[in-house]
Amino acid sequence: GRPAGGASAAGAPRAPSGKPLFSKILKMDHLACFLPGTIAMALHHGVVPRGEGHEEVAEGILKTCIDMYRMTPSGIAPEILSLGPGNTPEVRRNDRHNLLRPETAESLYFVGLLTGKPRYRRAAWDMFAAFRAGSRASDGAYTSLDDVYAQPSRRRDDMPTFWLAETLKYLFLNFAPPTLLPLDGWVFNTEAHPLRIFPRGAEAA
């Protein structure tokens, strides 16, 4: 018999009742757009080998992230992209907001460094231009948006701290010389703070 709470014969985890523990939800949050950059860093540092399809996976996910921006009238991505019948991309009304998140800008930077392809720098510029046109307030601050499909969208009375600490920083780095923070000498934490890499055994100066 099947152990309580174990896997079924097909390998899918199930509860003691026999019902699947997980179900597939055909959606992709903007938060997932950090993954191409993570794969790019793993490739750069040799954590995963090149030539086994990891590059294609990273660029494929990043293409979806870029398309989330290009598919809206404002050029700004919604929070969540869903897949409808026939895997047709759709955005539900409750998912049309934008919180100025950094994940796509982050992956554009790292994948751009890995591949050297100029299209990622162009995509970063398009993102910045769209934010400047659609979310910049009269006092120079940038705000979250209620509906990226509305023209113009109602602005929320907030500017997330990660807009300055992460999103703008990564957008800037997309246009900075690669020698500014070379990946063999610096690593970024989850909040985009660059930390120097010291050789093993070396003491911090």
**Which are the catalytic amino acids?**
79
Written as one string, the DSSP assignment of 44-82 is HTTSS-TTSSHHHHHHHHHHHHHHHHHTSTTS---SEEE
The CB-side HSE value for 43 (13 A sphere, CA atoms) comes to 22
Asked if residues 20 and 12 have their Cβ atoms less than 8 Å apart, the reply is: yes
3-state secondary structure of 181: coil
Q: What end-to-end distance do the CA atoms of the chain give, in Å?
A: 61
The CB-side HSE value for 93 (13 A sphere, CA atoms) comes to 0
The pairing of beta strand 194-196 with beta strand 186-188: antiparallel
